[in-house]
């Protein structure tokens, strides 16, 4: 998606992180492939990104073979994170590398295990001109998060804390964007049951 900023055109890509191990999920499949109302959790999350109007779309994969359930959307670029076991920061790093190579100015990042994030949240966060924009749900910070290229070097390169660290350490850069939907993720079989 190309957005007009105050004085310049900004090239923005959507990113869905879908690489994690999902170690707390004790179901018969990986949590991203678990069915929610007849479709995989990751497909439901991806649909919101696809329907957002963003035209450049990346899915970072790793632990779960999600490519098959996402095959219906040829516009999705799939990149595997070989270091996914080292935490979400490595998946974010994979996305940043892809974005730098593609000449992008900002990324709007969401998670594959959050099926309640709506396409309108992706749109609203993408429209921000702030260095960092975070979707909020009844005041609670969630996803997606928009990260301008000016903050990519501030992101951690390992561990299970991605953009969240910047929300805490650089609040002066953050715009909070009120969104509808749900930021709740599916980490356990019980979480999935609450969605059904």
Q: Tens-digit pLDDT profile for the chain (196 aa)?
A: 555 545 567 899 999 999 988 888 888 889 999 999 999 999 999 999 999 999 999 999 998 999 999 999 999 999 999 999 999 999 999 999 999 999 999 999 999 999 999 999 999 999 999 999 999 999 999 999 999 999 999 999 888 888 889 999 999 999 999 999 999 999 999 999 998 7
Give φ, ψ of 89 to 5 degrees. -60, -35
Task: Give residue 44's domain range.
Answer: 2-195
Q: How far apart are CA 91 and CA 61, in angstroms?
A: 8
If you search the block for the tokens 């992008």, which residue do you land on? Answer: 104
Residues 6+ apart with CB under 8 A from 190: none
3-state secondary structure of 101: helix
pTM value is: 0.93
Q: Using only the alpha carbons of the chain, give its radius of gyration.
A: 15
Give the CATH number, domain containing residue 159: 3.90.550.10
Closest-CA residue to 90 (of 157, 155, 22): 157
pLDDT for position 183:
95
- What does the angle CA 44 – CA 117 – CA 43 come to, to the nearest 5 degrees? 15
Tell how many helices (H) and how many strands (E) occur in the chain: 5, 10
Beta strands in 62-137 (DSSP E): 76-80, 106-111, 132-137
Q: What is the domain count for the chain?
A: 1
pLDDT for position 28:
85
**Tokens at residue 125, please?**
């966060």
DSSP-derived pairing of the beta strands 76-80 and 57-61: parallel
**Tokens at residue 136, please?**
């909020």
pLDDT for position 89:
94
pLDDT for position 1:
55
pLDDT for position 3:
52
């Amino acid at each position: 998606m190309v957005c007009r900023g105050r004085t310049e055109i900004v090239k923005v890509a959507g990113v869905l992180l879908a690489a994690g191990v999902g170690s707390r999920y004790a179901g018969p499949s990986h949590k991203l492939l678990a069915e929610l109302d007849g479709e995989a959790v990751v497909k439901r999350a991806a649909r919101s990104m696809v329907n957002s109007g963003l035209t450049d779309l990346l899915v970072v994969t790793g632990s779960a073979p999600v490519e098959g359930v996402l095959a219906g959307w040829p516009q999705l670029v799939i990149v595997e994170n070989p270091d996914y076991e080292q935490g979400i920061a490595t998946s974010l790093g994979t996305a940043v590398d892809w974005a730098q190579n593609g000449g992008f100015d900002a990324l709007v990042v969401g998670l594959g295990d959050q099926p309640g994030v709506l396409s309108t949240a992706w749109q609203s966060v993408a429209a921000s001109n702030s260095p960092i924009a975070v979707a909020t749900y009844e005041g609670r910070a969630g996803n997606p998060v928009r990260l301008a290229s000016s903050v990519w070097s501030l992101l951690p390169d390992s561990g299970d804390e991605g953009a969240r660290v910047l929300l805490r350490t650089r609040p002066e850069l953050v715009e909070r964007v009120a969104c509808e939907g749900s930021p709740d993720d599916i980490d356990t079989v019980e979480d999935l049951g609450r969605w059904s």
